[in-house]
Chain A
């Protein structure tokens, strides 16, 4: 429903028009503008340390938004509001089972991924078979998951992540944080899946027009349920890494990521109506968020003003990137 399709406008060969043809022109322009502003205002903005920090924060948000991207692409008013609670419970599980030991990490991670996939499957079944709004199903499921997380957390003492997970969370390889490497790997995998695989192509078809897709023989049930399942799985994966990234776990660890992921996906150029968007776009959306936060901190804004300004900037970005017909 974005107004920037440009098909019904006369084509002009101006610079702006040719720039608009570039993929991801709008988010890239916003990032460039923010970086320019940052470099002018704060001499420390373009130092290696700062850039690495921004990239790591962006990568964490991009990983958390991976599942959300797929669900929003699948259309039919698809949102996954259980992203945050799945991340939290997956971090809680890894923390509770593996704790600080590396030996138990594989089992713990597998269990966390399985729980994430199960939650995603429940969401998918609810959306497809009960014909419920994704918002309602995923919100209800997240209430239940949060409650279960609290019960689980009650019996465990909080522990620090093991050395492997800590390295993945805050360590780096050849100057590049591991989370960034992870996000790049996920980006590569998801982009290949969306662009090249049958599943990815069918996902775009379902998102663009479910009825037409069904008429064309797309197994809509499998695609939709598979999408929600993948979303749960990817959120659980992000939750495991978030445990290493944050260095500790609490009951609201993942909560902020729910709506931030929706925002990152939309700022990245995906259509909330479904069927249009890409994971690379989401990564750029996440980068906008991270650069913006960093910029506001370097201004010396306190927490309160940072919230205000980031809300205002989000509104401006949204009014540029995604406006609706009605």
Chain B
């Protein structure tokens, strides 16, 4: 029997994002050994600009999963917004107008998802999957083939650096700051309640449908930011540009400690998870394996990462539960 005093507060390794942090650290170390150029100013700018869309998109996915939903339309939504941005720029809109309109469009897409899941109570998996058809179709209608361009100055900013720090990383930092603000809000508390147990949240007076709808709407805005960053990083439009994002954001969020059971997980953790996936691909490439084997290796790493992180999470949760039970037993004995 362990005395109650030895039960410490939750240790750092039990944090949901801890496995992702370890994975990123190890893989980043390996990647630097293989390719020291990665951390050179030029390499860092290139790498962060190529990943920034995914880094931000995973925040939207994390938001939705924390409310025990899932968004299969992320890839199609960001591709659509990318095409919208390029088309608006082609019509002569100023960069500021493009940004404002794309943010609005993202909010609209997110709101529709939110209405379907929150108010019509469709299964999120199926509702967002159906939405992905609609969004893909719209993107193909607006711009059937890759092409177009956006303002060169904005592209230069996205692929540039401020005082040695790549602007893509600055954008990520700003989004994480926004996430921090959201985390402190009442909305996030309600969302976590809905995610942990929708029935209990409902019985406690939480407007479950509205909170879910709000989560999708906010995720829509985050997706729009991701789309804008991606568009200005790439500089052109493609109706299929972000298609892989759907599965990558889900896998990344899970590796980053966001639980599919809802209620648990953090935005920075999700970003770490998706970073790990990116670095794993970089590693396979840097190790000089052929691109054919690269996907195979990344696939295996993803499988092991997903399974390992979730098992580790279950284990730490069990440890914490047992600690609480022991504590209760001790206090009962004392009484």
Q: Which residues of A contact B (CB under 8 A)?
A: 79, 126, 130-133, 135-137, 139-141, 143-148, 150-151, 154, 259, 262-263, 266, 272, 302-312, 314-315, 318-319, 322-326
Contacts and interface: CB of A to CB of B under 8 A. Distances in A.
Contact of A324 (B72, B121, B139): B121
A326 B202 contact: yes
A323 B127 CA distance: 10
A139 B202 contact: no
Nearest to B304: A140
B127 A308 contact: no
B299 A263 contact: no
Nearest to B117: A324
B81 to A, nearest CB: 16
Query: Chain B at the A interface: mostly helix, strand, loop or mixed?
Result: helix
B291 to A, nearest CB: 9
Contacts of B116: 315, 319
Nearest to B306: A140
Contacts of B134: 307-308, 311-312, 315
Contact of A323 (B121, B260, B299): B121
Interface residues of B, number: 52
Nearest to B246: A259
Given A140-B302, A145-B299, A150-B296, A315 B311 contact: no
A75 B122 CA distance: 18
B148 interface: no
Interface in B292-311: 292-293, 295-300, 302-307, 310-311
Nearest to A151: B296
A150 B292 contact: yes
A139 B250 contact: yes
A73 B73 CA distance: 25
28 contacts: A130-B307, A133-B261, A137-B306, A139-B250, A139-B306, A140-B303, A141-B303, A143-B247, A143-B299, A143-B302, A144-B302, A144-B303, A146-B295, A146-B299, A150-B292, A262-B129, A272-B123, A304-B138, A305-B141, A319-B116, A319-B120, A319-B122, A322-B122, A323-B120, A323-B122, A326-B121, A326-B198, A326-B202
A137 B307 contact: yes
Contacts of B108: none
A254 to B, nearest CB: 15
Interface string B165-191: 000000000000000000000000000
B314 interface: yes
A262 B126 contact: yes
B133 interface: yes
B132 interface: yes
A305 B137 CA distance: 6
Contacts of B130: 263, 311-312, 314-315, 318
Contacts of B131: 311, 315
Contact of B208 (A141, A148, A312, A326): A326
Contact of A126 (B132, B136, B302, B307): B307
